[in-house]
Structure 1
Amino acid sequence: MLRFVHRHSALILPEELKNYFYSKRELLKKLQDGVNEVIKYWYNKKKGSNYEAGVIAVIHTFCGD
């Protein structure tokens, strides 16, 4: 098994955007892809290496309120 460093992050939409994405669920994939690109860009810029960052993303469309 390979040893590697991993991070866990949670990105939360502001209240002002929740209703917008709730009514336009087709945009959730674009949002997820955008976050993926930002993480990969940041990782490559910070690390300056030929490694590729892997991202596993899950979108929760429910609230615990």
Structure 2
Amino acid sequence: MSAKLYEWTNDRWIISLSKKIGELSKKEKDIISKKKLLENAKRGEVYKKVLEIFPDAELIDIDVKQDEN
């Protein structure tokens, strides 16, 4: 299946199967994780200080840097 998807789209596909019914997809898990990161950042002191200086500021995304090791 991955080979056909690559042939059709020129994008690499990773397909994982689960025996659990109702298991969240990787994308759904990533969305939930990103939402939690945003919520935690908004509770932080740095964000609160930014809002004091820029009251109209809004945190809309977080870019998590991975270690290159």
TM-score scaled by length of structure 2: 0.30
